[in-house]
Every structure is written in structure tokens, then in C-alpha cells.
Structure 1
Amino acid sequence: MQAVVVERFGGPEVLTVQDLPAPTPGPGEIVVRTSAIGVNFKDIYEREGRAAKPTPFIPGSEAAGRVLSVGPDTSDFAPGDRVAFWSAPGSYAEQVRLPARAAVPVPDDVSDEEAAALLLQGLTAHYLITSTYSAAEGETALVHAAAGGLGQLLTRLLSRRGVRVFGTVSTQEKAVAAKAAGVHDVVVVNDDTNVGSSLQDLVRGRGVDVVYDGVGRTTFEASLKVLRPRGTYVLVGAASGPVDPISPQDLAAHGSLFLTRPTLVDHATERSELLDRAHELFTWLRRGDVEPSIGGRYRLADAATAHTALQLRRSTGKLLLFPERSESRPEPAPSAAPTSRR
């Protein structure tokens, strides 16, 4: 079995493909033969050593494929079943062993590629707009990295609720993608941009009801200032680095703000909750409420190229890896054109 291995922390160059023994499922476990593997910023944090994960390890946590074998005391799945998962360490591999309770069934009308591109970010978008802050018609939201996989999903769902969405992106090309997803007003923010004044110009002096921020350090302080009194700041990631410490008094000074740093693991603690969220997510997919935007397809051996594209913010949408034996045809280019279900 081939897998990508990190033997030392560092840049994308530390991702090496190795031949490893095939895994065997234990009690309550399954082994999945992967066909499409999701790439996420979390994988970069792990590769760099920011996740306190000991080396060597196989990165990744998200993929879709077919059950290859099941262990004792496993009744939820059988060999040949199509499944997807978002929380199984070591997904950058041709075969992945995981607890059966961590996998969700993939409906017949959803492709492996769609499931791998949608599950983690789709479930995240689901809890963000249903559990963290349920934005309503007539409200306003600021979505950072609005052209990314999560950003586009959030934008589509918020827009369908009648929420006016403001968005930030890093390039003019991404501004087009953000607009297509439903962003009403967008601004390009990069290292040369005065983020504070750009955000004030973007929202035209009106405080927004909620901020969804996956960028972190470079957008945090300025975003607090564009929230309305009693607005909600949702920190969902740190692509630009962790935010600086903040005093609770600062939240009072900005207008009695709410600040939260939620994670998906705390919103799918029970299997029933995971399955309910996944079921509704796939229903949204059928209705066209969500649409996975695939911004690049790479061979498993080209994981380093995918990491570079994601880390340098060259990509628009979700990046996927494909094992060599996959029937899909990955494109080795650093950033392929986004594709959609329709």
C-alpha cells in the first residue's frame, strides 16, 4: 500500500510517498480503500509541527471510498459499501483503517469525489449556520476567504437564507468565484492591503451581524471593528497564523461582542448527530443548496504540490488527492479550474 509520510516537520518537501503494510481492522473498525482524499489546512498545521503530533505519521483525515474489510463486532458496514469520513488520521493513503462509527454512508447519487470534497467543509458549514450562529433573512455576514471551499459553502447557504454576504479574497480571480457563490460585495485583501480601511469600506460603515473567519491573525482585529454591538465573531481557522491574545474587556469595548472558536468534533460528538448532519448535507446537495467547488486534482504522489497551492492561497475551492489506481483522472497542475455538480 502506498501512503504519504511525514518523517520530520517542515515544508511541503517533507511529504514523501512510501510503501507500507496494508492495515488490518480491529474490533469495531473498518478498512477503506480510498478513491478521493480531501486536502485541508489542518494537514498543513500537522506537517509543520503546529499540531503537536509525533513523527512519523501519515497526514490527512478526510476521504471517500469503499469498505475493503471489517473487523470483529462491526455491523454498520460490509465490504463494498461506499463511505466517507472526515476524522480518521492518516487519510493520505490507498487504504485507511478507522472506527466504523467515524464513517458515514455515501448515497448512490453522490460521487466519491463529491463526498470527499464536501464532507468536512460541508459539515463545518452546517454546524456554523445551524448551531453556532443561525443567521436569518435580512441580516449581514462577513465571510473571509470567501472563494475557498468552506467560504463558498457558507456563502451559498447564507445567501439562500436571505443574508447579505460581504466577502474577502486574496486575488481578483477569486473575487469572481466569490461573486458566483453569492457574495454581494467583495474586497481583495493581501499583504499590501490596509485590512482595516478595506473592511470599513466594504461594509460601508454598517456593523455586520456575524463574522466567519478562517484566516486568523491578519483579519482578526480589523474584523472585530466591523461587527455591530452584540455581534458574533466566529473564528473557524488560522490560515495566516494564530490570533493574538485578547482580553474579555476588549469585547466589551467593541460593543459587548460574542467570540467563539468552535470545532466540528464538538458538534458531532454522538454518532446520531454526525449521521443527522450528514443526511441533511447530502439533501442540500441534491437540492442545489450546496455545491462542492473542486479547485484542483492531484495524484497522491503530488501531495506536496497540493500543499503548496493551498498554503500560498493559489487555489479556489477544494483540493483533492487521488491514488494512482483511482479511476478519476487527476490534473497535476497547481490549480485546476473549479468544477461543480451541475
Structure 2
Amino acid sequence: MQQTARTVVIHEHGGPEVLKIGDRPLGDPGPGEVRIRHRACGLNFIDVYQRTGLYPMDLPHALGMEAAGLIEAVGEGVTHLKPGQRAAYAAAPAGAYCEARVMPAAQVCPLSEGISFDAAAAMMLKGMTVEYLFHRTTPLKRGDTVLFHAAAGGVGLIACQWAKSEGITLIGTAGTDEKCSLAQFNGAAHCINYRTENFAERVAEITGGKGVDVVMDSIGADTFNGSLDCLKPLGMMISFGNASGPVPLMDIGILGKKGSLKITRPTLFTHIADPSVCQAMARRLFGKVEGGEVKIHIDQRFPLDQVAEAHRVLEARQTTGSTVLEP
């Protein structure tokens, strides 16, 4: 009898109501593949972008980009994983919202006993995003100053701790005083409530009018122009998300007028396309967590069959830290 696995699939783009759960066939892994049985699945804004069609997908398609669990079987040519081994991943193609799946093995990473399945599922995409932001996008050194939007979210809380561990001054933004306090507790030197203060003006005050070396902005439309105003001359704008909608079209000449600024729009999946780079990024992240420099905050948990509600809460910006789905 063929195995099946409960899986979240969309048949059309739209709101949380398009998320449907059903049984899908679960076969054996082919060459270069593994079959993994999930213990926890992560929730990320990229899942929302794919669900709504901002990032179009061929439909029907399963959703979810990160999870952790046990390897059940490996295909021909897979040497870094074996049956029974703990593993975690953030990887394409989407399909992590499920009990188990067959998937390419290259970006699946061995997981040590020192990290729980929940923590691993909550941190792979977010934590490796922070790794590339701080180590692969533009040179950062001790003493530099960074503005980080959504500092109390899943990526943000990791970034606050990461910055503190490397002597980088992080100025965060968040939407409530409580979220600002959380970001500062986790290492942000300052945190600005963007609902009650003009964050660009406040950054100017904090930096004595100098501005910051780097802005890391996952919000998009609502913050983009203000973020540019926060940079010092020759500063770097890293736009890595669209939580409030896509960044509007811009005249590139504005970068020169504002001080010869630089701008980039990176993605995690470009960085992890090389399997050796992916594994190295995961090892650095695991080292931060096992060494106690970064703690993973899981502030929301939902059963897999409540995935639509999880999406609603995430989109309403009512979450802090990371959210885990329980298969």
C-alpha cells in the first residue's frame, strides 16, 4: 500500500482560506534525494508571498520552505545524510508544510543533538538569512552601526543577538513598545517604535546626524524611502523582503543625491544554491546557537491543520519571534 503524508497545498493564489490540507503520495527518494519525516515546520513571510501570488508558483503547489525531522531514506549518491539521522533545512522547492516529503538532499543539513527540532525548524531560513546579511552581503566590522526593521520578528531577534555577539551596534524598529523592549532585551542598542516616532529622524538623533553604515529592510514599501534617509554617505541599503508590499519604482539617480549610496536585493536561495556554501552557513548558525550567542524564540505554535490562522496572525504582524507548525 502506498504511503501518504498530510500536506498543505494551494490550488489558487489568495488569502489564508486557499490553504488546503490533504493526503499526498509519499514515495521513495531517487538519486540525490532524501525522504524526511518532519517533527516541526517553520513559518515565514515568503510563504505568504507565494500564497498570495507576489512570488508566483505553478499550481497546485505545496507550501513551506523550512522544517526539521528524521531522515527515513536516502537516494543514490547522497553521502552527507543517512537513515535515522536528525536533519533540518531551508530549501526549495516549497513543500515543507507536511508530515513527510521526498526532496533534494543538497540543502538538507545534519542537525546535532544539541538543537531541538522546534528550534531548528524555527531558525533555518531566518538564521541563515541573518548569516548572509552579516557575513556575505557587504563587509561589516566591530563598531559598525546597522538599522534593522522588524527587530522583534523571527529574523529580527536573531539579528539583534547576532549583532551584539559581533560588536555591531543594531538600531531596531518595531510596532509597539513591548516589541521594542523585546528587541533591546535581545541585544538591540536602541529600538524605535515606528508607530509613535519618525524612525529616520530618530536614527539621525541616535547617530548624531551621521547615519548608519547599513540598513537591513524586510518591510519594503512602507519603510524604503525612510531607510535611504538613514544611511551615511557610501552606506549600503539591503532590501530583503516585502512585508508591506513591493518597493516602488525609483530613480536610481537618488542614490547619488543622497550620498553615493549602494543598494542590493539579495535572497537566501541564491546563497544556498551552492551546497557547500549552504552547509557552511548552517554550521555557522548552529555554532551561534550551541555556543549560547543566539537563542531561538518560538513564541507561537499551531497544529498543521490551523495553518490558515497562523498565516492570518503573521500577516497582521501580531507575532513576535518565530512560529512553528506541528505536523
Give the match's secondary structure for 2:223: helix
Give the match's secondary structure for 1:302: helix
CA distance in 2, matches of 1:122, 1:274: 12
Question: What is residue 189 of structure 2 aligned with on the other side?
Answer: 184
Question: What is residue 235 of structure 1 aligned with on the other side?
Answer: 239
Query: CA 1:23–1:200 in structure 2 vs 1: closer, same or farther (change >3 Å)?
Result: farther
Question: What is residue 92 of structure 1 aligned with on the other side?
Answer: 97
Give the match's secondary structure for 2:242: coil
CA distance in 2, matches of 1:187, 1:202: 10
CA distance in 1, matches of 2:304, 2:24: 14
Question: What is residue 152 of structure 2 aligned with on the other side?
Answer: 147
Shift of 1:216: 0.8
Does residue 244 (structure 1) correspond to residue 248 (structure 2)? The answer is yes
2:24 to 8, 20, 36: 20
1:56-101 superposed Cα distances (whole Å, 9 cap, x missing partner): 1111110000112222333332221111110132000111211111
Shift of 1:119: 1.2
Question: What is residue 259 of structure 2 aligned with on the other side?
Answer: 255
Shift of 1:24: 2.8
Structure 1 vs Structure 2: percent identity of aligned residues?
38
Shift of 1:194: 4.8
Q: How does 1:1-342 map to 2 (within 5 A)?
A: 1-88=5-92, 89-190=94-195, 194=198, 196-201=200-205, 203=207, 205-323=209-327
1:254-308 superposed Cα distances (whole Å, 9 cap, x missing partner): 1000101111122223222111121121111111121111121110001111111
Give the match's secondary structure for 1:265: helix
CA distance in 2, matches of 1:148, 1:92: 20
Give the match's secondary structure for 1:128: helix
Give the match's secondary structure for 1:114: helix
Question: What is the one-letter code of the residue matched to 2:194?
Answer: V
Q: Is the 8 A contact 1:3 1:93 kept in 2?
A: yes
Give the match's secondary structure for 1:218: coil
User: Given the two structures, how large is their TM-score scaled by the length of structure 1?
Assistant: 0.90
CA distance in 1, matches of 2:27, 2:219: 36
CA distance in 2, matches of 1:74, 1:136: 37
Question: What is the one-letter code of the residue matched to 2:240?
Answer: V
Question: What is residue 339 of structure 1 aligned with on the other side?
Answer: none
Question: What is the one-letter code of the residue matched to 1:173?
Answer: E
CA distance in 1, matches of 2:167, 2:32: 43
Q: Is the 8 A contact 1:23 1:95 kept in 2?
A: no
CA distance in 2, matches of 1:78, 1:137: 40
Give the match's secondary structure for 1:21: strand
Shift of 1:127: 1.3
CA distance in 2, matches of 1:23, 1:170: 45
CA distance in 2, matches of 1:137, 1:196: 23
CA distance in 2, matches of 1:163, 1:67: 38
Question: What is the one-letter code of the residue matched to 2:182?
Answer: A
1:86-127 superposed Cα distances (whole Å, 9 cap, x missing partner): 013200011121111121000121111111111111111111
CA distance in 2, matches of 1:29, 1:173: 44
Gaps of 5+ in 2: none
CA distance in 2, matches of 1:11, 1:266: 27
Q: Is the 8 A contact 2:80 2:110 kept in 1?
A: no
CA distance in 1, matches of 2:103, 2:26: 13
Question: What is the one-letter code of the residue matched to 1:118?
Answer: M
**Mean Cα deviation higher: 57-66 or 133-142:** 133-142
Gaps of 5+ in 1: 324-342
- Superposition RMSD on alpha carbons, in Å? 1.6
